[in-house]
Structure 1
Amino acid sequence: MQILRPINSNDFAAFKQIAIESGHGFTSLPVDNDLLQEKISRSERSFAKQLNKPFDEGYVFVLEDSETGEIMGTTAIEAAVGMQIPLYHYHLGKTVHHSRTLGVYNTVDILSMCNDYTGCSEICTLFLREPFRKGLAGRFLSRSRFVFMADHETRFAQTVIAEMRGVSDNNGRSPFWQWLQEHFFSIEFPQADHLVGLGDKVFISELMPKYPIYANLLSEQAQAVIGQVHEKTKPALKLLEKEGFEHRGYIDLFDAGPTVEAKLSNIRTVQHSVVAKVSIHSNISGQARAISNQGLTSFKATFTDKCSYDSTTKTLSIEPCVAQALGLETGDSVRTFTL
C-alpha cells in the first residue's frame, strides 16, 4: 500500500536521493545536505505549530511503500510565499506604440518584474521517482495536497500557485537564461538555479534589469520558451489544469516557466471531495478512491479500491488493512475522493 505522510528526519537519505534524481531546474530540491536537512526540520516545526493563519510554514510529504518502506516520491506546500525572502516573477503584459500621424499601431509584449504573489500558498516539489511512474500514484500524489489544505484551511491562503519548471536541456542550459546571462549576468544557469534553491536571492535585486524588458528584443530561442514547461513537467501541468489552475501571464525569472494559480475553494479536488464516517468490513471492493485521515502531525493518506462509499449515509466502508494503515477506527472521520 502507498502511504502519503509528513516527512521526518529518518527520511533524509531518501530525500537526498530524490533531490539528485530531480535534476537541473528543480529549484526547490538542491543537492545540499544542510538545506535538505533544514527543509525536513522546518516541515516538522510547521506541522507542530498551533496556527489560525498562514505565515512562513512549509509542509513536506513523502510517499512510502508500506510493505518495503521505500520512499517513492515527495511533494510539499508553502503556506505563504515571499514573507521572509522576496518572491520574484516576470509578468507578461502589453504596451502599445501608436502614431496617428504616421499611421503606425504596434502592440508589443513586455516583461515586468514583480512580487504580486506575495502571501499566496504554493504547491511545490512534486516528484515521483522513475520506477513508480505508473498507475494512479502520480495523480494521487498531486491531488492529495488539496485535501490536506481543505482540512486545515486556516493554515493556507485563498490563492494557491504552482511554479512549473521551464525549458532547459540535459545539461541545465535554459534559452531564456542564456539571453539574461549575456546581457546582465556572468554566471551559468545551474549556478543561479542552485543559489535560488539555497535561498540566496540577493543577486536578483542587484543584477536583474530594473525596467520592463521588451520581449521582441530577446533571442528567438528565448522568446520561444516563454510560458513553456519542461518536457518532464507536462504531466504535472495537465493535472493542475484539470484542477482548475490557470496561467495568468506570470513566469519564472530564470527559465520563463509558467506560474499557474487557482482559488483554494475552486480547486476541483476540494469541491469534489467529501467528508465521511468510517465503517470497517472485510471483503469490500469498489471504485478506486483516495482517503485521508484528516490528521495534522498524524496525517496519512492512501488510495485503494478496497472501499465503498454510500452517498446517502455519507459512510465509507473500508477493509481492516486500510483502516490500520491510516490509523482509523469505526466512526472516525475521513476525507475522500474518487481517482
Structure 2
Amino acid sequence: MRIAVTGSIATDHLMVFPGRFAEQLMKEQLERVSLSFLADRLEVRRGGVAANIAFGLGQLRLEPILVGAAGIDFAEYDSWLRANGVDTSEVRVSESLHTARFVCTTDDDQNQIATFYAGAMAEASRIDLAAIIARTGKPELVLVGADDPEAMLRHTSTAHSLGVPVAADPSQQLARLDREQARQLVDGAGWLFTNEYEAALLLERTGWSEQQLLGRVGTWITTLGDAGVSLARSGDPVVRIPAVATDRIADPTGAGDAFRSGFLAGTAWKWPQEQAARLGCALATTVLESVGTQEHKLVPSDLIDRIDQTYGNDVARAIEPRLAGLS
C-alpha cells in the first residue's frame, strides 16, 4: 500500500525552559502579554509534520511519497529522508525561500509555546497532486497534513475527485481556517486525526456537533497524551487505547507524528484499527524519549517488548512478524 504524505517540511529549533509557563503568566494581564523565557538548551533538528510522518513510514519500509514544499537549503535534509526510505522526488524546492522554521519552547510540565514561519511552504499551493499521481501511480491513501491552507484544500479536493481515500490531519492550521475551509478539509475523510484540544477547536470551527462530524468521517482518532488515544466511529462505542508508559520523557515534539506513522502503517498492512493504534502508541513513546522528531532509533525488539508490557503477549506476538525484519 503506497501512501502519499502531504504537509509541512521544516527545521525545528527546540528550546527548554527550566520552569513552568503557568507561573509566569498573570491572568489579569493576558491581553497584554510581553514575556521572555530564558531557555537553557537549544536543539536544531529536522521536522515538519509531513516529513516526520513520512520518516516514520520510511523506517517501517512503507516507502511513502512526500508531497510538500522545501527551500533552497533542502539538499542535506533531502539526502537524510531518502536514506531513511522516503521518496522525495515530488518535493517542490523553492528557488528563493528557505525551508519553513518551527521554533518551540517546552517547560517542565511539557507545555509548549511555538511559532511557525512558513518560508517555502507558501509555495505548496502550486503543487499539483493530480500530476504527481499521474507520474507515480495512484496511492491507496493520501494524508493531508498541516500545510499552506490553500494547498490543503486543493490536495483534499484532488484526492476526493480521483477516488483516493483521505486521512485529514489539519492540526496546527485549524486556527487559520474559517468554517467552510474546516468543513471541506474533513468532510468525507476516511480517517480524521486531532489531539484533544484540536478536537474541541474543530467542532467550534466547523459548527458541527460531535455526532454530526462523526457522520461525515470514517474514524476520528484523537490523541490524548499520556492517556493514550480514542477511536470513534458513528454508531459505535468509543474505543480507548492506553499509552505506552515511560519515565524517560525528553521532548514531546513529534510524538503525535510518530503515532500517525504507526497507525498508518498498520492501516497499510490491513490491521484492525485498535492494533494499528497500539503500534502508533509504541512509536510515540519512542519519540518522547529522544530530543528531535527524527532522532530516535527504531529497534524492533524494543517495540515488541513495549507492546508486550502494555497490551499483552498475544498482541505483541501478532505484531512481531511485521517488525521482525526491520533494522
TM-score after normalising by structure 1: 0.28
Q: Report which of the two structures shows the higher radius of gyration computed on alpha carbons.
A: 1
Q: Relative to total residues, which structure has the larger helix share, 1 or 2?
A: 2
TM-score under structure 2 length normalisation: 0.28
Higher share in strand: 1
